[in-house]
Chain A
Amino acid sequence: MKLSQHYTRTSVYISLTVLVIGAVIYYFAISYIGKQQLDRALQQQLTEAEEYIRSNKGDPQQYDLDRDHAVFVKTNAQLPFTRRFFDTTYFNPKEQKREAGRAVEDLVKLGESNYKVVITVSRTDQKHLIELISVITLALLVGLLAVLFVTNKYMLNGLWKPFQLTLNEIKQFNIADVDQFQGKPSKVDEFTELNEAIREMSLRVNHDYLSLKQFTENASHEMMTPLAVVTTKLDTLIQDETLSAAQLGQIADIYSSVNKSSRLNQSLLLLSKLENKMVNEEEVISVEKVIETKIFQFHELLQNKEITIEHTLTPRQIKASKYLVDILLNNLFSNAIRHNVPGGRVLIDLTVNQLSVKNTGTAIALNTQQIFERFQKGKDSQGTGLGLTLVKNICQLYGYSIQYEYEPGWHKFVVTF
């Protein structure tokens, strides 16, 4: 759920609760005040009535002959009498109907006799007032909630816009691009601070990455010179005619190891170049022609293992670096030959959309998850363990996909252009 939704939901709940409780308290408070007012009015009328009776000394009912709001009844009750206010209904002669009223009951002394007096006033006006206030309050409440909802929905989204922009920039962040996080300026301090923090972080990450990259490259380069020294020293050493066969055997092993480390080094360098997209030279290449050349180059190897090669080549041109295409095909072809069985077959199929290299081999499928990882190789493999990683990275560079498929007895690599 989005933050704004969370916020809207919480704020609507809280507002609703507070407003409902407030409305209830408000209602009771107003009712109470209204009653107090009526009671004061009744008290006033009572005092007036008592004064009237005392001065006239006649039938107290003369005060209100039509008995519409004051009723005097002779009673035997004695003083002290507790004055009592209560809600009631009475007949309003003007409106000709019964209405809600508020009444006061008291004892009035006229000469020797006691009269119980009940004075009633209409409560309708007050009820109307409370109703009106309630309706206005309710309308306000609904209005407030609506405004709150709309504000949260639209204004909050607007407020969060800089955040969305920053987020998009982070999503597009590529470690190899130098200083590319800009961060749109925002009026909101928090977002400005966030942008600054991310910018600083990206610069630091870029810097670390660059120095690491530089290190890898320099290390690989620096390694080449000592390797060259070893190679040339060996080349000089073998000129010595007194060396025994055993010593020469040892030297041959050193040659192989030096050779392997220099190949490894070159592959690592190339990988780091690919990962940094530092291979730029592109030209139009006819894949079918390159494949034909490759088949010719590998024919000795094929003959040696008595492997037959079959190919169907549809002309297909791509725009890529010749050097990288060479490496890609070399790796696919030499794998297909190296991991083949004597007397096996290699099928090469080039269509407009894809190139597939299929070879007979062991009856066990390779681990699709791992084969493209660095230094993953079969235990009998003499390679560097970087061949397929190079293949994958070259494919990635040009937006091709590479897939491995296994059919019983057949291993197949498919490059989809």
Chain B
Amino acid sequence: MKILVIEDERGLRENITSYLNVDGNICESCNALTPALQKLSDYDYDCILLDIGLPDGEGFGVLEYLSSSQKNEAVLIISARNSLDDKLKGLNIGADDYLTKPFHLAELKARLMAIHRRKAFNTGNKLVFNEISIDMQGRTVEINQTPITLTRKEYDMLLYFIANKGKVISKNAIAEHLWGDEMDMYDSFDFIYTHIKNLRKKILEAGGKDYLQSIYGMGYKFTD
């Protein structure tokens, strides 16, 4: 997957790039609107990470450029502005998703994978990971052709882990993914453990491997 990161904050740009640069992904970056438009006219990308507040203009310019040149890149907006207006504006003129700063890299990657899957293969597609096969449309999971029943949260969690395989994911990031803003983190840590335990049990019972590794005091890692 070819990704372009348009973000002016150096620290953020570097971390995002290095986090995404795995599994054969090619991640490029630029720090302003003008070089971004230049890159977009020269190359094709699968996904674009777009910051709205850029030093030489609003990131909406990228969306306008994409729609005027009929390009089909998936766009994920990352913005410090949490206003609904910006969100709606971005989504209306062609962005696929909107993520508010601060965010976790795991969340960013999961969202990016999700919009990429939607764009690239439409919807009736299956996500296969070793013996695990996920039907994205029917939201069903099979392990070695044996269907298993997952709760909504377990299903979300499995997708989240697969998107971030090989990475340590903090409990904070998992909690935020599963419950969003509704709950304070400290409320939800206990539940994460329960959900992980159930998910692992269901995979193991259906003959899958134990991919979920617990990192003491921090979180979990989904390893191959």
For residue B180, which residue of chain A has the nearest CB?
A297
Compute how far the CA of A334 lies from the CA of B187 in the bound complex, rounded to whole angstroms.
10
Task: Give 1 or 0 for each of B166-182: 1 = CB within 8 Å of chain A CB.
Answer: 01101111001001011
- Our pick among B9, B81, B182 for the contact of A229 (Cβ within 8 Å) is B9
CB < 8 Å neighbour of A231 from B9, B104, B184, B191: B104
- The verdict on A224 contacting B102 (CB below 8 Å), with A229-B9, A255-B172 known, is yes
Q: Give the residues in chain A near B30, CB-CB below 8 Å.
A: none
Give the number of residue pairs across the A-B interface with Cβ within 8 Å: 113
Min C-beta distance of B3 to chain A, whole Å: 15
Select A382's contact among B16, B168, B182, B186, beta carbons within 8 Å. B186
Picked from A231, A245, A298, the residue with its CB within 8 Å of the CB of B102 is A231
* CB pair A236 B105 closer than 8 Å: yes
Binding stretch for chain A, among B37-45, B69-77, B215-223: B215-223
Q: Quick one: given A231-B103, A235-B15, are A256 and B168 in contact (CB under 8 Å)? A: no
Separation of A113 and B218 alpha carbons in the complex (Å): 150
Cα of A262 to Cα of B173 in the assembled complex, Å: 14
Whole-angstrom distance from the CB of A338 to the nearest CB of chain B? 8
Q: Which of A221, A245, A251, A338 has the most CB of B within 10 A?
A: A221
Known A-B contacts A228-B102, A232-B19; A252 and B186 likewise in contact (beta carbons under 8 Å): no
Interface residues on B, range: 35 or more
Task: Indicate if the CB atoms of A232 and B105 lie closer than 8 Å.
Answer: yes
Q: Which of A249, A252, A266, A323 has the most B CB atoms < 10 Å from its CB?
A: A252
Tell yes or no: B128 within 8 A of A by CB: no
B12 touches A225 (CB 8 A): yes
Report how far A279 CA is from B88 CA in the complex, Å. 13
CB pair A224–B191 under 8 Å, yes or no, is no
In the complex, the chain B residue whose C-beta lies closest to that of A300 is: B191
Given A232-B12, A235-B15, A236-B19, verify A269-B170 contact (CB < 8 Å): no
Least distance between A406 CB and chain B CB atoms (Å)? 24
Flag if B183 contacts A252 (CB, 8 Å). Answer: no
Q: Is the CB of B103 within 8 A of A330?
A: no
Partner of B168 from the list A230, A238, A297 (CB cut-off 8 Å) is: A238
With CB as the reference atom, state the residue of chain B lying closest to A251: B218
Q: Determine how close the nearest CB of chain B comes to the CB of A240; give it in whole angstroms.
A: 9
Give the contacts of B177-205 with A (CB-CB under 8 A).
179, 181-187, 190-191
* B-contact 0/1 string along A227-257, CB 8 Å cutoff: 1111111111011000001001101100110
Chain B residue numbers with a CB within 8 Å of A269 are: 82
Contact of A238 with B218 in the complex, beta carbons under 8 Å: yes
Cα(A239)–Cα(B184), bound, Å: 24
Select A259's contact among B84, B172, B182, B190, beta carbons within 8 Å.
B172
The answer to whether A304 has its CB under 8 Å from any CB of chain B is yes
Q: Which residues of A contact B11 (CB under 8 A)?
A: 229, 232-233
* Nearest-CB residue, chain B, relative to A240: B168
Residues of B within 8 Å of A238, CB to CB, are 168, 170, 215, 218-219
Report A371-401 residues with CB < 8 Å from chain B CB: 382-383
State whether B218 touches A233 (Cβ < 8 A): no
In Å, the complex CA distance between A222 and B102 comes to 11
> For residue B95, which residues in chain A have a CB less than 8 angstroms away from its CB?
none
Which residues in B have their C-beta under 8 angstroms from that of A230? 102
8 Å CB interface, B87-125 against A: 100-106
CB-CB < 8 A to A132: which residues of B?
none
Question: When the two chains form the complex, which single residue of B102, B176, B191 contacts A227, counting CB atoms closer than 8 Å?
Answer: B102
Let me know if B186 and A301 touch, CB within 8 A.
no
Chain A residues whose C-beta falls within 8 Å of the C-beta of B16 in the assembled complex = 232
Does A262 contact B191, Cβ atoms closer than 8 Å?
no
C-alpha gap A98/B190 in the complex (Å):
124
Q: Smallest distance from the beta carbon of B25 to chain A beta carbons, Å?
A: 16
| Nearest neighbor of B175 in chain A, beta-carbon distance | A259
Q: List 30 A-B contacts (CB under 8 A).
A: A224-B80, A225-B9, A225-B12, A227-B101, A228-B78, A228-B80, A228-B101, A231-B102, A231-B104, A232-B12, A233-B15, A235-B19, A235-B106, A235-B170, A236-B18, A238-B170, A238-B215, A238-B218, A239-B168, A248-B215, A252-B171, A252-B217, A263-B181, A266-B181, A273-B83, A281-B84, A297-B179, A334-B182, A338-B187, A382-B186
- 8 nearest interchain CB pairs? A228-B102, A224-B80, A228-B101, A235-B105, A232-B15, A227-B102, A229-B11, A248-B218
